[in-house]
Amino acid sequence: MRVETITFPVAPGVSLQADRYGAPDGAPVILLHGGGQTRWSWKGTAQALADAGGKGGFAVHAVDMRGHGQSSWCPDGQYGLDHFAQDVRVLAGMMPAPPVIVGASLGGLSALLACGEDPQALCAGLVLVDIAPRMEQRGTSRVGAFMRDTLDGFDTLEAAAEAVAGYAQNGRRDARPEGLLKNLRQDADGRYRWHWDPAFMAAGKSGWDPDVVERRLMAAAARITAPMLIVRGGESDVLSRETMDHLKQALPHIAQAEIAGARHMIAGDDNARFNAAILPFLQAHAAAQGGAA
Protein backbone atom coordinates (compact mmCIF):
# COMPACT_ATOMS: atom_id res chain seq x y z
CA MET A 1 0.00 0.00 0.00
CA ARG A 2 1.21 3.47 -0.85
CA VAL A 3 1.74 5.68 2.23
CA GLU A 4 3.18 9.17 1.94
CA THR A 5 3.98 11.60 4.76
CA ILE A 6 2.88 15.17 4.04
CA THR A 7 3.28 18.43 5.93
CA PHE A 8 0.41 20.94 5.79
CA PRO A 9 1.17 24.53 6.95
CA VAL A 10 -2.09 25.74 8.49
CA ALA A 11 -1.13 28.83 10.54
CA PRO A 12 1.95 30.99 11.18
CA GLY A 13 4.44 28.66 12.87
CA VAL A 14 2.00 25.72 12.85
CA SER A 15 2.23 22.79 10.45
CA LEU A 16 0.32 19.52 10.63
CA GLN A 17 1.95 16.19 9.84
CA ALA A 18 -0.19 13.63 8.01
CA ASP A 19 0.13 10.22 6.43
CA ARG A 20 -1.75 9.78 3.17
CA TYR A 21 -2.84 6.24 2.42
CA GLY A 22 -3.96 5.12 -1.01
CA ALA A 23 -4.11 6.83 -4.36
CA PRO A 24 -3.11 10.54 -4.26
CA ASP A 25 -5.90 11.36 -6.71
CA GLY A 26 -8.53 9.38 -4.82
CA ALA A 27 -11.57 10.88 -3.13
CA PRO A 28 -10.16 12.80 -0.13
CA VAL A 29 -10.86 11.62 3.42
CA ILE A 30 -9.47 13.30 6.55
CA LEU A 31 -9.11 11.38 9.84
CA LEU A 32 -8.86 13.54 12.99
CA HIS A 33 -7.91 11.89 16.29
CA GLY A 34 -9.05 12.68 19.81
CA GLY A 35 -7.27 14.87 22.35
CA GLY A 36 -4.03 13.33 23.56
CA GLN A 37 -3.82 10.85 20.66
CA THR A 38 -1.83 10.91 17.42
CA ARG A 39 -2.47 9.99 13.80
CA TRP A 40 -1.28 6.45 14.57
CA SER A 41 -4.62 5.85 16.28
CA TRP A 42 -6.10 5.68 12.78
CA LYS A 43 -3.60 3.31 11.14
CA GLY A 44 -5.95 0.32 10.94
CA THR A 45 -8.84 2.42 9.68
CA ALA A 46 -6.69 4.31 7.17
CA GLN A 47 -5.35 1.08 5.69
CA ALA A 48 -8.79 -0.52 5.52
CA LEU A 49 -10.40 2.49 3.85
CA ALA A 50 -7.59 2.86 1.33
CA ASP A 51 -7.93 -0.84 0.45
CA ALA A 52 -11.72 -0.67 0.13
CA GLY A 53 -12.06 2.52 -1.84
CA GLY A 54 -13.04 0.83 -5.07
CA LYS A 55 -12.14 2.19 -8.50
CA GLY A 56 -9.93 5.24 -8.01
CA GLY A 57 -9.98 4.66 -4.27
CA PHE A 58 -9.74 7.06 -1.37
CA ALA A 59 -6.88 9.36 -0.50
CA VAL A 60 -7.01 8.89 3.28
CA HIS A 61 -5.19 11.53 5.35
CA ALA A 62 -4.48 10.55 8.97
CA VAL A 63 -3.49 13.82 10.63
CA ASP A 64 -1.62 14.81 13.78
CA MET A 65 -3.56 17.77 15.17
CA ARG A 66 -1.65 20.79 16.45
CA GLY A 67 0.38 20.07 19.56
CA HIS A 68 0.13 16.31 18.99
CA GLY A 69 2.49 13.76 17.52
CA GLN A 70 4.83 15.23 14.93
CA SER A 71 2.77 18.36 14.29
CA SER A 72 3.89 21.74 15.61
CA TRP A 73 3.68 22.61 19.26
CA CYS A 74 2.40 26.16 19.71
CA PRO A 75 4.86 28.35 21.67
CA ASP A 76 2.00 30.58 22.81
CA GLY A 77 -0.24 27.69 23.86
CA GLN A 78 -3.03 28.27 21.33
CA TYR A 79 -5.02 25.08 21.87
CA GLY A 80 -8.58 26.34 22.12
CA LEU A 81 -11.38 24.75 20.12
CA ASP A 82 -11.39 27.70 17.74
CA HIS A 83 -7.71 27.13 16.91
CA PHE A 84 -8.30 23.47 16.14
CA ALA A 85 -11.38 24.34 14.07
CA GLN A 86 -9.45 26.89 12.03
CA ASP A 87 -6.78 24.28 11.31
CA VAL A 88 -9.51 21.98 9.96
CA ARG A 89 -10.83 24.77 7.71
CA VAL A 90 -7.39 25.34 6.23
CA LEU A 91 -6.67 21.64 5.89
CA ALA A 92 -10.00 20.93 4.16
CA GLY A 93 -9.33 23.81 1.77
CA MET A 94 -6.03 22.20 0.77
CA MET A 95 -7.76 19.06 -0.47
CA PRO A 96 -8.37 18.74 -4.24
CA ALA A 97 -12.10 18.27 -3.57
CA PRO A 98 -14.36 18.65 -0.52
CA PRO A 99 -13.32 15.83 1.83
CA VAL A 100 -15.29 13.54 4.05
CA ILE A 101 -14.01 14.30 7.55
CA VAL A 102 -13.98 11.59 10.22
CA GLY A 103 -13.40 13.09 13.67
CA ALA A 104 -13.09 11.33 17.01
CA SER A 105 -13.71 13.30 20.20
CA LEU A 106 -11.66 16.53 19.90
CA GLY A 107 -11.29 15.92 16.17
CA GLY A 108 -15.05 15.66 15.79
CA LEU A 109 -15.74 18.80 17.80
CA SER A 110 -13.19 20.72 15.74
CA ALA A 111 -14.73 19.49 12.49
CA LEU A 112 -18.25 20.40 13.66
CA LEU A 113 -17.22 24.00 14.29
CA ALA A 114 -15.13 24.19 11.13
CA CYS A 115 -17.97 22.98 8.91
CA GLY A 116 -20.85 24.63 10.77
CA GLU A 117 -19.57 28.08 11.76
CA ASP A 118 -18.41 30.91 9.50
CA PRO A 119 -16.35 30.65 7.45
CA GLN A 120 -17.76 27.19 6.80
CA ALA A 121 -15.30 24.60 5.52
CA LEU A 122 -16.56 22.66 2.54
CA CYS A 123 -16.95 18.95 3.23
CA ALA A 124 -18.55 16.10 1.34
CA GLY A 125 -19.63 14.48 4.60
CA LEU A 126 -18.87 14.39 8.31
CA VAL A 127 -18.54 11.35 10.58
CA LEU A 128 -18.50 12.02 14.33
CA VAL A 129 -16.92 9.18 16.31
CA ASP A 130 -18.42 8.90 19.81
CA ILE A 131 -18.84 12.65 20.01
CA ALA A 132 -21.83 14.89 19.37
CA PRO A 133 -23.12 18.39 20.10
CA ARG A 134 -24.34 17.11 23.48
CA MET A 135 -22.06 15.00 25.71
CA GLU A 136 -22.16 13.40 29.13
CA GLN A 137 -20.09 15.36 31.62
CA ARG A 138 -19.21 12.18 33.53
CA GLY A 139 -17.55 10.70 30.48
CA THR A 140 -15.71 13.80 29.34
CA SER A 141 -14.47 14.35 32.91
CA ARG A 142 -13.06 10.80 32.99
CA VAL A 143 -11.14 11.44 29.77
CA GLY A 144 -9.70 14.67 31.15
CA ALA A 145 -8.81 13.06 34.48
CA PHE A 146 -6.83 10.30 32.74
CA MET A 147 -4.85 12.85 30.75
CA ARG A 148 -4.11 14.98 33.81
CA ASP A 149 -3.24 12.00 36.02
CA THR A 150 -0.71 10.66 33.49
CA LEU A 151 0.74 14.02 32.49
CA ASP A 152 4.11 13.28 34.12
CA GLY A 153 4.48 10.03 32.23
CA PHE A 154 5.70 6.56 33.14
CA ASP A 155 8.91 4.87 34.22
CA THR A 156 8.38 1.98 31.78
CA LEU A 157 6.32 1.02 28.76
CA GLU A 158 4.70 -1.69 30.86
CA ALA A 159 3.44 0.94 33.30
CA ALA A 160 1.98 2.90 30.40
CA ALA A 161 0.25 -0.22 29.08
CA GLU A 162 -1.26 -0.92 32.50
CA ALA A 163 -2.59 2.66 32.70
CA VAL A 164 -4.14 2.43 29.24
CA ALA A 165 -5.78 -0.92 30.06
CA GLY A 166 -7.25 0.55 33.25
CA TYR A 167 -8.60 3.57 31.38
CA ALA A 168 -10.06 1.49 28.55
CA GLN A 169 -12.05 -0.64 31.04
CA ASN A 170 -12.20 -3.49 28.55
CA GLY A 171 -9.98 -5.93 30.40
CA ARG A 172 -7.48 -6.08 27.54
CA ARG A 173 -3.79 -5.29 27.84
CA ASP A 174 -1.55 -5.10 24.79
CA ALA A 175 0.86 -8.03 24.85
CA ARG A 176 3.41 -5.84 23.08
CA PRO A 177 3.63 -2.49 24.91
CA GLU A 178 6.21 -1.37 22.33
CA GLY A 179 3.23 -0.43 20.19
CA LEU A 180 2.65 2.50 22.52
CA LEU A 181 5.88 4.10 21.28
CA LYS A 182 3.86 5.66 18.46
CA ASN A 183 1.96 7.67 21.08
CA LEU A 184 4.78 8.19 23.59
CA ARG A 185 8.10 9.99 23.59
CA GLN A 186 11.04 9.24 25.88
CA ASP A 187 12.39 12.44 27.43
CA ALA A 188 15.90 13.18 28.64
CA ASP A 189 15.01 12.03 32.17
CA GLY A 190 14.15 8.57 30.79
CA ARG A 191 10.41 8.83 31.44
CA TYR A 192 7.87 8.01 28.75
CA ARG A 193 5.38 10.82 28.23
CA TRP A 194 2.45 11.14 25.86
CA HIS A 195 3.35 12.65 22.53
CA TRP A 196 1.45 15.92 22.99
CA ASP A 197 2.22 19.35 24.35
CA PRO A 198 1.40 19.58 28.11
CA ALA A 199 0.19 23.13 27.45
CA PHE A 200 -2.78 21.55 25.66
CA MET A 201 -4.31 20.59 29.00
CA ALA A 202 -4.04 24.10 30.44
CA ALA A 203 -5.63 25.61 27.35
CA GLY A 204 -8.42 23.04 27.36
CA LYS A 205 -9.54 24.02 30.86
CA SER A 206 -9.83 27.73 30.09
CA GLY A 207 -12.98 29.11 28.50
CA TRP A 208 -14.77 25.74 28.38
CA ASP A 209 -18.33 26.43 29.49
CA PRO A 210 -20.25 23.21 28.69
CA ASP A 211 -23.55 25.01 28.13
CA VAL A 212 -22.02 27.59 25.79
CA VAL A 213 -20.11 24.93 23.88
CA GLU A 214 -23.23 22.77 23.51
CA ARG A 215 -25.24 25.67 22.10
CA ARG A 216 -22.46 26.41 19.60
CA LEU A 217 -22.18 22.79 18.55
CA MET A 218 -25.94 22.33 18.17
CA ALA A 219 -26.17 25.47 16.04
CA ALA A 220 -23.19 24.37 13.94
CA ALA A 221 -24.63 20.90 13.35
CA ALA A 222 -27.94 22.43 12.23
CA ARG A 223 -26.15 24.54 9.60
CA ILE A 224 -24.18 21.74 7.98
CA THR A 225 -25.87 20.65 4.76
CA ALA A 226 -23.45 17.81 3.96
CA PRO A 227 -24.46 14.29 5.04
CA MET A 228 -23.56 13.47 8.64
CA LEU A 229 -23.20 10.29 10.67
CA ILE A 230 -22.65 9.81 14.41
CA VAL A 231 -21.09 6.49 15.44
CA ARG A 232 -21.56 5.70 19.13
CA GLY A 233 -19.78 3.09 21.20
CA GLY A 234 -22.45 0.89 22.77
CA GLU A 235 -20.75 1.13 26.18
CA SER A 236 -19.70 4.78 25.86
CA ASP A 237 -19.89 7.05 28.89
CA VAL A 238 -19.43 10.14 26.67
CA LEU A 239 -22.58 9.59 24.58
CA SER A 240 -25.60 7.96 26.18
CA ARG A 241 -28.51 6.39 24.35
CA GLU A 242 -30.73 9.07 25.88
CA THR A 243 -28.54 11.74 24.31
CA MET A 244 -28.68 9.96 20.96
CA ASP A 245 -32.48 9.86 21.18
CA HIS A 246 -32.50 13.58 21.92
CA LEU A 247 -30.25 14.28 18.93
CA LYS A 248 -32.50 12.19 16.68
CA GLN A 249 -35.36 14.54 17.55
CA ALA A 250 -33.36 17.77 17.52
CA LEU A 251 -31.18 16.99 14.48
CA PRO A 252 -33.10 14.39 12.44
CA HIS A 253 -30.87 14.85 9.38
CA ILE A 254 -27.92 13.18 11.17
CA ALA A 255 -27.71 9.41 10.69
CA GLN A 256 -26.72 7.23 13.64
CA ALA A 257 -24.86 3.96 14.12
CA GLU A 258 -23.78 2.04 17.21
CA ILE A 259 -20.93 -0.41 17.76
CA ALA A 260 -22.08 -2.83 20.47
CA GLY A 261 -19.55 -3.44 23.22
CA ALA A 262 -17.27 -0.56 22.21
CA ARG A 263 -16.48 2.35 24.49
CA HIS A 264 -15.29 5.87 23.70
CA MET A 265 -12.23 4.63 21.79
CA ILE A 266 -14.33 2.85 19.18
CA ALA A 267 -11.70 2.40 16.47
CA GLY A 268 -9.35 0.86 19.02
CA ASP A 269 -12.00 -1.29 20.69
CA ASP A 270 -13.42 -2.85 17.53
CA ASN A 271 -11.67 -1.58 14.43
CA ALA A 272 -13.21 -4.06 12.01
CA ARG A 273 -16.81 -3.25 12.91
CA PHE A 274 -16.08 0.48 13.05
CA ASN A 275 -14.62 0.38 9.55
CA ALA A 276 -17.62 -1.60 8.31
CA ALA A 277 -19.98 0.98 9.84
CA ILE A 278 -18.42 4.00 8.12
CA LEU A 279 -17.35 2.51 4.78
CA PRO A 280 -20.79 2.66 3.09
CA PHE A 281 -21.08 6.33 4.14
CA LEU A 282 -17.71 7.14 2.59
CA GLN A 283 -18.43 5.18 -0.56
CA ALA A 284 -21.73 7.03 -1.00
CA HIS A 285 -20.45 10.52 -0.33
CA ALA A 286 -16.67 10.79 -0.69
CA ALA A 287 -16.73 8.98 -4.02
CA ALA A 288 -19.55 11.14 -5.38
CA GLN A 289 -17.88 14.40 -4.38
CA GLY A 290 -14.32 13.41 -5.15
CA GLY A 291 -15.25 11.88 -8.48
CA ALA A 292 -12.72 9.10 -7.95
CA ALA A 293 -14.82 5.98 -7.52
pLDDT for 38 equals: 95
Residue 143, in any domain of the structure: no
Q: Is the pLDDT of residue 90 over 70?
A: yes
- Contact call for residues 260 and 269 (beta carbons, < 8 A): no
- 228: three-class secondary structure by DSSP: strand
- The per-residue DSSP string of 173-188 comes to --S-GGGGGGTEEE-T
By residue range, what is the domain housing residue 11?
3-137+198-290
**Do residues 165 and 37 share a domain?**
no
- The answer to whether the beta carbons of residues 11 and 90 sit under 8 Å apart is yes
What's 112's domain CATH number? 3.40.50.1820
The model's pLDDT over 210-232, given as tens digits with 9 standing for 90+, comes to 889 999 999 999 999 999 999 99
Q: Which residues contact 62 (CB under 8 A, 6 or more apart)?
A: 18, 19, 21, 31, 33, 39, 40, 42, 43, 45, 46
Residues 58 and 190 both lie in one domain: no
Q: Tell me the pLDDT band of 291, cut-offs 50, 70 and 90.
A: very low
**Would residue 133 count as lying in a domain?**
yes
Whether residues 162 and 240 share a domain: the answer is no
User: Do 209 and 269 have their domain in common?
Assistant: yes
73 and 216, same domain (yes or no): yes
CA distance 224 to 191: 44
In terms of domains, do 212 and 89 share one? yes
**What average pLDDT does range 202-211 have in this prediction?**
69
pLDDT confidence bin for 144, thresholds 50/70/90: confident
Q: Are residues 280 and 160 in the same domain?
A: no
Average the pLDDT over each of 50-54, 170-174, 246-250 and give the range with the smallest value. 170-174
Per the structure, the count of domains in the chain is 2
Asked whether residue 20 falls in the same domain as residue 71, the answer is yes
Are 89 and 65 in the same domain?
Answer: yes
Give the integer Cα–Cα distance in Å for 132 and 38: 20
- Binned at pLDDT 50, 70 and 90, residue 270 comes out as very high
Q: Which pLDDT belongs to residue 288?
A: 47
- Beta-carbon contacts of 239 under 8 Å, excluding residues fewer than 6 positions away, are 130, 131, 132, 135, 136, 139, 230, 232, 233
- Cα 37 to Cα 103: distance, rounded to the nearest angstrom: 12
